[in-house]
Amino acid sequence: MTSSQNYRRLRASILGMTLCFALVPMLLVGILIPNQFTSLYHEKTIREVENVAQAKARSIDVFFEERIAQLNYLASFYNYEELTREGKLAEVLRVLQHYSQSYVDLGVIDMDGTHVAYAGAYAVRHANYKNELWFQAVQRHGVYVSDVFMGFRQFPHISIAIMRHEGDRSWILRATIDSEVFNSIVQASKLSAQGDAFVINADNILQTNSRMAGALMTKANLGMPAHKELSFRGTLGNKEMLFAKIPLVHAQWSLVVAEDPSEHLTLLWRTRFFAAIGILLGMLALGFSTWFITRMLVSRLEAADKEKATLNASLLQTGKMAALGKMAAGVAHEINNPLMLIRETAGWIKDLMEDEKPENMVHYNDITTSAGKIEQHVDRAKDVTHRLLGFARSVNPNPESMLLNPMVEQAIGFLQNEASHRSILIQQVLASPSPRVLVDVGQLQQVVLNLVDNALDAIGHDGTVTVVTAIEDNNAVIRVQDTGPGLPEGRVEHLFDPFFTTKAPGEGTGLGLSICFSIMEKLGGSITCHNRPEGGAEFILQLPIHGQAGPMAGPCNHQ
């Protein structure tokens, strides 16, 4: 059988097997996957409603946490006499309202339930709350968040009260929260225009307005199941809805998020229709592409066979070169040791000749000249071994005397585009004249690149990285400063340890700063870091100055 016949048979076999193994699973996918996808989509919708409800419940809890914390701070910062002094409470209320529009008024209440100090728009200065449920609750628990109620103010509001003890005296600081502000936070919880979100207490009394369940302070009939589940199906406004109910931490309430599942199913049926069209078109495209790819594959296989001999020869040569590189490294290392001994011996001979008198030795000049030539040729041999090690890629590059500023500018240039995409400004404040240092350019630039890249990662978006070069205490200094969150307290001493990283799992190896530390030690310098008082981190590189500074124009600020 000829070679061309073999390729034709191979082409037919590949085409038949590929179509068989591809079309059959595609048909099964077209039948089985839609049902599975429908189930998963229902599950996804439920999880989405639950996630939104949990996130918003946390937002509401944070809303109350912040206000409880603010009241605790006020009660600890000001004593009873200060807050009850005329005009002081009004001044405090103005400050609170400046930062939060949710506060309606503020009051100080003694243990007899009397409003001894009040700031606000309502005439409740001397009202007595001794018989009110919230007053008794705050005495028992120390902190109390009330249900929405009318009270003396005759408008729906929420009260937050905390108790403060000062020696033998106890008193209550109470704030009124506008229920409309709270209602707007809750209404932002719904997923779609047809959805609803509201808060109920333990008796299913609405603590916010609801589009479907009723008005504020009315009872909602949700038909909730007896068992406590995060999500469930029920009826709201004569419509079947999907509910997620999350209890709140700082009040005896629950956040309820209701979504119309039919709105999500419309998208599901549309997706299934397009999926069926896609599978049909995919089968047609698969048949054509399989024929085309099989034809191309066999043609390339035929061409690859013709190149096989050349490729084998090339691989053999590559193997030889790799072996030669390893051998060169071994030979160079083995030769360097005797060369060192030869050079030391030649130097020893020259030292001995210095103690002799030339007139007492017939061949004094010849011996001295020969010892010098031995040293000269040993140095030549060392150059050869150095080149051999370079060939084997096992020699560190030689340091050069270079101007610092151009190296820093070139390194930063690699990250300018990335910084622009993140809306981060990289400022360069370069010394004039530029200090000169003895370094390996690539290694120093690697350190600068790593530090600037870390600064960009720390900032994320919208910030500034400042790179400063200077001459301090006869050292060339590079400072990399950022406006990020700063270094983690108590862990700065471990930043240069191998495999230590402050980044999220999978985002860093923990080797970057360790490598930078090793490079700076090899270059005869140092690297340190600290948090700046104005915020952000600062890494400082120090290198000895080598030679005279370069002719750079005046102090400059490059952006």
Read off the pLDDT of residues 123-179 as tens digits, 9 standing for 90 and up: 777 888 888 888 888 998 899 998 888 776 677 888 899 999 988 889 999 999 888
Task: Please return the burial class of 110, using the count of CB atoms within 10 Å of its CB with bins 0-12, 13-18 and 19+.
Answer: middle
Between 212 and 37, the more confident residue is: 212
15-259 topology per CATH: Beta-Lactamase (3.30.450)
Read off the pLDDT of residues 202-257 as tens digits, 9 standing for 90 and up: 888 888 888 877 788 888 876 666 556 677 777 776 777 888 888 898 888 888 88
b/e 118-141 (16+ beta carbons within 10 angstroms → b):
bbbebebeebebeebebbeebeee
Give the other-Cβ count within 10 Å of 339's Cβ.
Answer: 18
Q: What is the DSSP string of 367-426?
A: HHHHHHHHHHHHHHHHHHHHHHHHHTT-SPPPPEEEEHHHHHHHHHHTTHHHHHHTTEEE
Q: What percent of the chain has pLDDT over 90?
A: 19
Between 413 and 556, the more confident residue is: 413
Q: What are the structure tokens assigned to 331, written together?
A: 């030979």
pLDDT reading at 4 higher than 60: yes
For the chain, give every domain's residue range: 15-259, 311-391, 400-558
**Mean pLDDT, residues 533-537 taken together:** 91
The one-letter amino acid at 2: T
Q: Select the CATH number that applies to the domain covering 400-558 from these four: 1.10.3720.10, 3.30.300.30, 3.30.565.10, 3.90.800.10.
A: 3.30.565.10
pLDDT reading at 438 higher than 80: yes
Distance CA 113, CA 124 (A): 12
pLDDT at 509: 60
123-128-132-135 Cα dihedral, nearest 10 degrees: 100
Which architecture characterizes domain 311-391 according to CATH?
Orthogonal Bundle (1.10)
Average pLDDT across the chain, whole number = 79
pLDDT reading at 542 higher than 90: yes
Between 241 and 103, the more confident residue is: 103
Q: Assign 507 a pLDDT band (cuts: 50, 70, 90).
A: low
